[in-house]
Structure 1
Amino acid sequence: MSKATLTISSKNYSSWSLRGWLLCRMAGLDFEEKLLPSDDPDIRAELLLLSPSFLVPRLTDGDVSVWDTLAIAEYLSELNPGAGLLPTERVARAHCRSISGEMHSGFSNLRSALPMNLKARFPGFRIWAGAQADIDRILAIWRECFEAHKGPYLFGAAPNLADAMYAPVCTRFLTYDAKLDADCAAYCQTIMALPHMQDWVTAAKAEPEELDELDVEF
């Protein structure tokens, strides 16, 4: 049987590609990467938030094709329940799905004002009210998880679906110098220290392509 294939775009800019890739790694899936070029008009439109739908990541596994991040997570969880992508306890599992869904469908101000860019750093970046409201909501979600599950990850001792969904936010907070309390700052450091995240960041920084439209200060 051939390996599964995960189609992704820029590792520097594509937060959705990072989420799908992390989920596949967390699930222990043996897969190959297919990297779409950032000069593809459709991919460029997606990275600039001009596409009406997400084109990547797309997971192909035999005769199965899954192109939505949450659907990829559910598929991987069914494929390998022991990977722990979802909590085993019913209430925690519902909570995990809820906050993952909130990230999946929300926080549009954060996405547009603070695009993911792993190569960049903007000390003292001015964050406007719309994006700050999104940040405040995300930090409230994290604190609620820390209180309920005691960390270091959102649902306890090991990373799961929710951590994969919020991992790109951690990179944004670092890029744009967001002001965080000690617990949330420590969580970002924990996520960035994951070996899979380190691998992704190393590859992102080696990418030669740049999208000028995403390299501006808002």
Structure 2
Amino acid sequence: MADKFTLVLGDRQSSSWSLRAWLMAKHIGIDFETTFINLSAPLAKEEILRYSPSGKVPALMHNDLLIWDSLAIAEYFNELFPARNLFPPDINSRAIARSVISEMHSGFQTIRSSMPFSLNSGLSFIDSNQLRLEIKRVEEIWLDLRNKFANNGKYLFGEFGIADAMLAPVVLRFKAYGYQSKNEIVTEYCNTILNNQFVKEWCTNN
């Protein structure tokens, strides 16, 4: 019997964590089904708990196995499909990638709260010194990695990988709230993400 993959996701409009898992699955090229849950619905929490014990999305069902949390899903995909190069090929670059991914997973709370994820445009954000510091840090990450790995391709570590999937929602946040970097390399990377076929598919099918 063929493997069956099902991603349980929040709605495209508001669930940045769902986008991350979905992008990884699309990049790998697996056949998978999706169950979308409207996070603003009155019984959304109860619906999510039918699939995910944490009460959060995304969750991945692979046959009889359940994996929840975007970071756990990322690591699971990497183990299942090592040939897809979700992490860079050498140990030092993989360590850097995991540092970046973990920082994104646990940090940038002010970006999240001041720029709630949305696929709309022309939105206004709540400016603050902390927000500017976090935006500066995101740009430092992008600039540093693009300078180091530009010869390997157009994404953070060359090829599209977990790091790009984890940071793609930040690019969409910047677009929604009209933030534009003054750095040419950062802007180029943002445009690369916005022009990614799967990012465009997620936004178009909203």
Same fold (TM over 0.5): yes
2:153 paired with 1:120: no
Task: Confirm or deny: 8 A CA contact 2:37 2:44 kept in the other structure.
Answer: no
TM-score, structure 2 normalization = 0.88
Residue from 188, 191, 194 that aligns with 1:189: 191
2:129 paired residue number: 129
Q: Deviations over 1:116-150 (max 9, x none)?
A: 11123237x56322211111111011111012111
Q: Deviations over 1:88-111 (max 9, x none)?
A: 110001100110010000000100
Q: Secondary structure at the match of 1:66?
A: strand
1:71 paired residue number: 72
What does residue range 38-57 of structure 1 map to in structure 2 within 5 Å?
38=39, 39-43=41-45, 55-57=56-58
1:171, distance to aligned residue in structure 2 (A) = 0.3
2:88 paired residue number: 87
1:153 paired residue number: 155
2:142 paired residue number: 142
For 1:129, the aligned partner's letter is: N
Q: Distance in 2 between the 1:171 and 1:130 partners?
A: 20
Task: Confirm or deny: 8 A CA contact 1:8 1:57 kept in the other structure.
Answer: yes
Q: Distance in 1 between the 2:101 and 2:112 partners?
A: 15
Q: Distance in 2 between the 1:116 and 1:175 partners?
A: 8
For 1:145, the aligned partner's letter is: L
Q: Deviations over 1:151-175 (max 9, x none)?
A: 521001x210000000000001111
Q: Distance in 2 between the 1:18 and 1:54 partners?
A: 17
TM-score, structure 1 normalization = 0.84
Task: Confirm or deny: 8 A CA contact 1:7 1:35 kept in the other structure.
Answer: yes
Q: Distance in 2 between the 1:129 and 1:139 partners?
A: 15
Structure 1: gaps of 5 or more residues: 47-52, 205-218
| Residue 54 to residue 137, structure 1, CA distance change in 2 (3 Å) | farther
Structure 2: gaps of 5 or more residues: 49-53
Aligned length: 195
Q: Secondary structure at the match of 2:154?
A: coil
Task: Confirm or deny: 8 A CA contact 1:77 1:84 kept in the other structure.
Answer: yes
Q: Distance in 1 between the 2:132 and 2:180 partners?
A: 10
Q: What root-mean-square deviation, in Å, do the aligned CA atoms of Structure 1 and Structure 2 show?
A: 1.9
Q: Deviations over 1:182-217 (max 9, x none)?
A: 11111111001111011100112xxxxxxxxxxxxx
Q: Secondary structure at the match of 1:187?
A: helix
Of all paired residues, the percent bearing the same amino acid is 37
Task: Confirm or deny: 8 A CA contact 1:27 1:77 kept in the other structure.
Answer: no
Task: Confirm or deny: 8 A CA contact 2:115 2:126 kept in the other structure.
Answer: no
1:177, distance to aligned residue in structure 2 (A) = 1.6
For 2:81, the aligned partner's letter is: N
Task: Confirm or deny: 8 A CA contact 2:8 2:58 kept in the other structure.
Answer: yes
| Residue 190 to residue 62, structure 1, CA distance change in 2 (3 Å) | same
Q: Secondary structure at the match of 2:61?
A: strand
1:84, distance to aligned residue in structure 2 (A) = 1.0
